[in-house]
Amino acid sequence: WSALCVSGVLSFDETAYAVKRRGEIMQAVCEQIAAESQGNAPGMAACIGLSPEAVIEAVKGIDGVFAANLNSVRQTVLSGTKDGLEKAGEALKNAGVKRFIPLKVAGPFHSPLMQRAADQFEKVLDELHFNNPKFPIFSNVSGKQVQSAEEAKVNCIKHLTHPVLWTSEESEIAKFCAANASDEFKLLEVGPGKVLNGLWRDSGNMEKIPSFEWENFIELENN
């Protein structure tokens, strides 16, 4: 959402409104799902040590389980029903997963189980004014560069029910930088965390500079 705002796809006020309403809708839907599940609330689990392809193959045919985050060559997150995730855990152990970690989250995010949230959020986005990006931004829904205002809007809706394709997005960013930069590129993780730094480690070159260390940005530009 920060990228959508900074690139001019949405104004600051509309971005803040969309993020607020998105959170409210997701919380309400997760509470509805939990109430309907009668103690078997769906959730998410991280799979460590297998490729996304291996994880998807291992859980193929298990009802109610979906790939939610393709984070790196060794980390994939699943969303699903409680029963489905339990079966997935057993299947993945047989496939050689190193760790299968149930996550403490409120719902089965980035999966078709959140469709009612997507339907409600689409009505919110219909009220907003989307513009074409002023500079290149990439979507982890499509894994590709966002080309238009309409594509940006569609991705915002799909983000609730479709997997996060970080591995594909990472590859597209690397290709874009290689084609448009004369020197070896460095991807800067702007923010206090280092999640992307860890995900990028397996397949790219990343330098993390926290956003509150302004002197590092100045030094980088001067060099």
> Looking at residue 68, which CATH number applies to its domain?
3.30.70.250
Could you read off the pLDDT of 137-152 as tens digits, one per residue? 999 999 999 999 999 9
State if pTM tops 0.95.
no
Contact 169, 143 (CB under 8 A): yes
Would residue 99 count as lying in a domain? yes
Domain span at 57: 42-106
- Does some domain include residue 97? yes
Q: Which residue from 1, 103, 92 is spatially nearest to 42, judged by alpha carbons?
A: 103
Per-residue pLDDT of 86-124, as tens digits, reads 999 999 999 999 999 999 999 999 999 999 999 999 999
Q: Is residue 87 part of a domain?
A: yes
Using alpha carbons, select from 104, 68, 74 the residue that is nearest to residue 88: 68
Classify residue 63: in a domain, yes or no: yes
What is the total count of domains within the chain?
A: 1
Residue 46 lies in a domain: yes
In a domain, 66, yes or no: yes
Characterize 183-222 residue by residue with b for buried, 16 or more Cβ atoms within 10 angstroms of its Cβ, and e for exposed: eebebbbeeeeeebeebbeeebebebbeeeeeeeeeeeee
Q: How far apart are CA 196 and CA 189, in angstroms?
A: 7
Residue 169 bridge partners (DSSP): none
* Mean pLDDT, range 36-41, rounded to an integer: 84
Is residue 158 a part of any domain in this protein? no
On whether residue 190 sits in a domain, the answer given is no
Q: By C-alpha distance, which of 169, 192, 153, 163 is closest to 18?
A: 153
